[in-house]
Chain A
Amino acid sequence: MTSYLFGHGRSRWLPYLFLLPGVFFYLLISLGPSLATTVFSFTDATGIAGAPVHFVGLDNYKEFLFMGQGSADNYDALWRTLKFCFFVTTIQFSLGLLLAVLLNQRLKGTALFRTLYFMPAILGVVILGLIWTLFLYPLGGPASRLLGVFGLSSEFLGGPPTEAFAWVIVVQIWANVGITMVIFIAGLQTISAELYEAGRIDGAGSWQIFRNVTWPLLTPSVNTNLLLNIIGSLQAWTLFMVLLGYRNGTQVLGYTIFAQGFGQTSGSVTSAFRQGYAAAASIVLFFLVLVIGLTTQTILRRREARIIG
């Protein structure tokens, strides 16, 4: 036993006492509700205060996965969520790495570039949504002019679902690549300059140095960024709301959960406050994130062991 006194003696309960509010709020607002999602997924709960709630067993899951048009739409949303995750992760990861490597050189103005690329990360979905809706203004907006130069045209967010979906991917990456970039820059700065020097003295070119020095030593940031991007993009959906609304052919799972649980109407799609069903959808998304997250982590661990060992 050490000789410090706050954890011991007459007043050793004080740390526990002052710890309580923080832990209480965490259990009440976050952990408790999160775990209770499982319970709700077996009920027909609605969003109406005082309405009776019944236990319905696996009905919500059956409906979500196996019943008619609804489940077909759900599989579409699931597949779209995976596509969104794939495109966002690969592009954001590569661009983030490219920008970080470029900004980690001794070039003038790097601080300015870094600030500029990173800034959208703090703007929030409302501002992002409006800025991009304006930029993609179909009647003579900048993006439409630019496409016009190449003889192309697009209705952007109002166009066919696949096209609108692609634009959400663009905005998602534009907004978040700065975060990936700063995590890579933090990783690059831990690599000792002497290693680069040694490489150059041995006559290695820039690519060889990147391949054999930078890339392996960057493993911790590579792992962090991959996991963050994958998990983040599987759960992301708010940009869809501000850019497209609940539109058929563009929904991802996260948005389905919100729409089913809290009601969203759009054209032919009307959803009520079906919170039991939405809870079941949350569990499905959770398993998707869990399986993909754990698989990625296992692969990354093996790779790390191979590089270090």
Chain B
Amino acid sequence: MSTTAIETSARSKKASIAPRVKWGRIGSYAILLLFAAIYLAPMLMLISTSVKTLPEFMRDATAPPTSINLNNFVDAWNKANFPRYLTNSLIYTGAATFIYILTAVFVAFPIARGYIRGATALLTLFVIALFLPVALIPQFQLMLNLGLYNSPVGYIVLFLVNPIGVVILVNYVKSIPKELDEAAAMDGCGYFRFVTSIVMPLIRPAIATVAVLHAIGIWNELILPTIYLTNKDFYPITRGMIVFQGVYGSNWPTLAAAVLIMTLPMVILFLFLQRYIVSGLTQGAVKG
């Protein structure tokens, strides 16, 4: 944006408006920094608590730690059954995202191309679920009667749906020239091979966006494991964390260390994938 250039040239001509421009800038920074503090404070509190001892925390919860005590992390890792819960979460998230993406591309591609009758109607059908009543109750009855209650497979099946993802993929496929299909079909390339080995690499940015959004949703899900998984061995990290909180609820230093262990991978991943997440949210929002 060239507002700065304008401001600079205006300032050189008319010195009188310079102070106002500067005040605007200072005011902007003041507000931004205030919000930065509001966002950093809870996170700093978490980090500070995680390196304190319990007596230190009890004496003064807010004071900065006097020494760095990493025992809490060892404790949390051992007591919270983290390796098991993290493995479960990774399996659920990985398997469901992989299968979902594969099935979703095969839904989105023919819709975008009009290779099937009623393509528009089908897309509308996918979008409509966002506004319909909560599916929780009948879904539970269904899973119960299919024998998929308290089963990892059943739990994964619950995450094979994401209408917004289909919408994002459809929009992206539309930007790929149709001549490509003709050329491939002419050369005798099969449909499955064409979609998996030519279309999918071409729509990789959209796939990345949808996969990241979908995976975050599964990773963070708390309600579905609460409803569907009763066996502790099947718990994902979210449910495991709630159980851990139930047992160590008053031992905040250990609890804070556990929360950090759970948060850190998310934050690191977020810093790398932010672009995809933001584009997914803004696209999904505009179309949804």
* CB contact list, B11-53 vs A, under 8 A: 24-25, 28-29, 31-32, 35-36, 38-43, 45-46, 49
Report yes or no: A22 in contact with B104, Cβ–Cβ below 8 A.
yes
Given A25-B160, A26-B161, A224-B285: A286 touches B132 (CB 8 Å cut-off) = yes
With A33-B142, A102-B28 given, is the CB distance from A134 to B163 under 8 Å? no
Instruction: Select one of B43, B223, B270 contacting A258, CB under 8 A.
Output: B223
Give 20 pairs: A residue, B residue, CB < 8 Å, sorted on A.
Answer: A2-B178, A6-B185, A21-B103, A22-B103, A25-B161, A26-B126, A31-B125, A31-B128, A47-B140, A119-B39, A134-B42, A134-B252, A137-B252, A139-B61, A140-B62, A186-B282, A193-B1, A224-B286, A257-B134, A286-B134
* B115 contacts across to A, CB distance below 8 A: 6-7, 12, 15
Which listed residue (A7, A26, A119, A193) contacts B2, Cβ 8 A? A193
A150→B39 CA distance, assembly (Å): 21
Which of B71-79, B190-198, B202-210 lies at the interface? B190-198
Q: Identify the stretch in A62-70, A84-92, A152-160, A276-284 within 8 Å (CB) of chain B at 4 or more residues.
A: A276-284
The reply to whether B49 and A134 form a contact with Cβ atoms under 8 Å apart is: yes
Q: Does A249 contact B (CB under 8 A)?
A: no
Q: If the complex has contacts A49-B145, A103-B32, are A21 and B106 also in contact, measured as CB distance less than 8 A?
A: yes
- Those of A81-113 within 8 Å (CB) of chain B: 98-99, 102-107, 109, 113
Interface residues of B (CB under 8 A from A): 1-4, 6, 10, 24-25, 28-29, 31-32, 35-36, 38-43, 45-46, 49, 60-62, 103-104, 106-107, 109-110, 113-116, 122, 125-126, 128-129, 131-142, 144-145, 149, 157-158, 160-161, 163, 166, 178, 181-182, 185-186, 190-192, 194-195, 216, 219-223, 226-227, 238, 241-242, 245, 252, 255-256, 259, 262-263, 266-267, 270-271, 274, 277-278, 281-282, 285-286, 288
Interface string of A253-289 (1 = CB under 8 A from B): 0100110011000000000000100110011011001
Q: What band does the interface of chain A fall in when counting residues whose beta carbon is under 8 Å from B?
A: 35 or more
Interface of B is mostly: helix
Interface residue from A6, A140, A279 paired with B138 (Cβ < 8 Å): A279
Asked if A34 meets B135 with Cβ closer than 8 Å, knowing A29-B161, A106-B4, A126-B222, the reply is: yes
Chain A residue, CB-CB nearest to B106: A18
Tell me, rounded to whole Å, the shortest Cβ–Cβ distance linking A136 to chain B.
Answer: 9
User: Closest 7 CB pairs between A and B?
Assistant: A124-B220, A5-B185, A7-B115, A22-B103, A22-B107, A33-B135, A36-B138
Q: How far is the CA of A34 from the CA of B186 in the complex (A)?
A: 43
Q: Are A141 and B61 in contact (CB under 8 A)?
A: yes
Please report the C-alpha to C-alpha distance between residue A106 and residue B288 in the assembled complex, in whole angstroms.
Answer: 30
* Chain A binding surface SS class: helix
Partner of A40, one of B39, B128, B141: B141
A99's partner among B35, B107, B131, B262 (CB-CB below 8 A) is B35
A contact residues around B3 at 8 Å (CB): 105-106, 193, 196-197, 200
In the bound complex, CA of A257 to CA of B149 (Å):
20
Q: Contact between A174 and B38 (Cβ–Cβ < 8 Å)?
A: yes
Contacts of A275 on B, CB cut-off 8 Å?
Answer: 137, 140-141
User: Is A182 a contact of B278 with CB atoms below 8 Å?
Assistant: yes
Q: How distant is the Cα of A18 from the Cα of B107 in the complex, in angstroms?
A: 8
